[in-house]
Structure 1
Amino acid sequence: MQLEFLGTGSGQPSKFRNVTSIALRLLDERNAVWLFDVGEATQHQILKTTLRPRKVEKIFISHLHGDHIFGLPGFLSSRSFQGADKNEPLTIYGPKGVKEFVQTALRVSETRLSYPLVFVELTAGVVFDDKTFRVIAAKMKHRIESWGFRIEEKDHPGELLANKLRAENIPSGPIFGQLKAGKRVSLPDGRILDGHDYVGPAQRGRVVTFILDTRPNDNIELLARHADVLVHESTYGAGEDEAKMARAHAHSTSINAANNARRAQANQLILTHLSARYIGPLLKNLVSDVRHVFPNTIVARDLDVIDVPLKKEVSVSDPHKV
């Protein structure tokens, strides 16, 4: 699992940052990519990466401001040009109005897609759940309807302790598969084996939370609780003047993000959606000003790729679930 930041700026593109789009690379987990917001020129940014548009199976739209959706029609069209077919559908999760926006752009431009397009209007709670992942959405507080997302990976079964089995002279073959599945197995010599004794600790599924365009609110902590990575908008820095602008425009400051990460007991905080003013010393200050609140904080740059590693152990009652 990796995060790839295609755009980390706010409002409009700048020389150093494109507007918001983040790819969650799930190539090992499900051979797919999910996008979170698709700002203008997202497909141009993708050209600078190894991402393939046909691998994008889901797009999550936080809200309908232009710097988060103006790249959507172009990306959908290019995905079609690049050969996506009827067996490669794409689902868009977003607020009411995203379907109308996309369909209008495609109709007016006479664009016909070669693959099915599915729309899911967001509601609070679980919006997607299968054997590998669950996605939870919660409302944020912005100038228009806005949503945050919590992506929960399901726990991975532990590895079969093959060396232990060989040490006990247990022959390989179908028996290994049965033990891996946790079954009880009777051997010809009369021994009865319990599969649970030959499987290592489970690997806890990872949690990634996306908080984009919002003023502080209680739902942020709910979505970010014990997250491995919290990606949080930081349109403004830590100063009082910045705090006033954040309140006026319904955004968050870097201090807001750090406090949310601390309260939620997240593992890592990644700041994104930065105002174009934050370059040079101001950019360095953006991080240094908040590390006393939440030390494990970094600022995302366009085209950064950040690994989200697995952890080895899981408890019976997993505290990161909500």
Structure 2
Amino acid sequence: MHLASCGGGGGGGGGNDPDNGSGGEVTTSGLLWHDFFGLDAVNGLQVSDLAGAKTVRVSGVETAVPTPDGQHFITYEYDLDDDFSTVSIYTRDGQRVDAATFDGYVRRVRPSPGQLGRMILTWSPTAGGVGSDQVELIAIDFNGRVTLASYPGVHAAADWLPDGRVLHLGADGRLRIGTPALPDTAVAQLSVSGRTPAGLWVDPAGQRIITRWNVLWEDGGIRSTDLWISAIDGSGLEQLTDTGLSSYGVWSPDGAFFAFDMDPANACTSTGCSGIPIGSCDLYVAPATSRRVGAAAASFTVTGADGRRKVLGCDLRGWTR
């Protein structure tokens, strides 16, 4: 699928650097799992085929992610009144395989690429108030209802490697790798001057990582946020996006490309988003060789359920074959 580059603006994505992902077209393929309401004015998890087929809505639940092989998806729903979360596993055609409830707020799920039912939950005791600041990363075996490991999650992140091990990025920038029990084996110390870590995404081959780094206001709000890329051992750390507004990266199935967001709501104080005009969250794609890429990158164009071609916006939940 050829993706045309959008025009200018924002975050230093243009310039004369031939490796910044701007200009021309990129060619990629696969299935994009997203919850972009603006595509067909429907809520829920949708799948758009970059080969051009019409977008299909597979679930009415927006908070959902596909497994890396694209054969299942996982929903996570929070009941505000009773303060519990329901996590469910479905086949790609929408048949529920399993479900379980958890006390507190499951705010994110990261499925294992190697074993259905293994996942990393980002969990808080509650969705609001003091308890929402207490974040843990919990590796679980859903099938056996077993907690495999848990560790602090504030300013930290974790993701699966293809072989089933876990890579953990601590609040101190230290990378650790191991089994889900995660023995204290440090593999690297990452540092970006003036920034704190906040996200981690391992490429499908387990060779590279995208990490998110925030600049914080004095009150703890996010002043700006961008993505960096490095080898799995932390070597060769380089700035990947230069927008001040990018909070996540999604690898293409072959690892040749990455998608990223530009969302004005990402840069806020604790009392609201200030100093930045509030607009729509936009979605972009660029080769993984890009550096300091911004809004001059290409956008995804997909086919809606009505047969019309449209630019895809946020949020992208996964990219599978």
Per chain length, whose mean CA-contact separation is higher, i.e. which structure has more relative contact order (CA < 8 Å, sep 6+)? 2
What TM-score, normalized by structure 2, do the two folds share? 0.33
Q: Which structure has the bigger radius of gyration? A: 1
Q: What TM-score does the superposition give when structure 1 sets the normalisation length?
A: 0.33
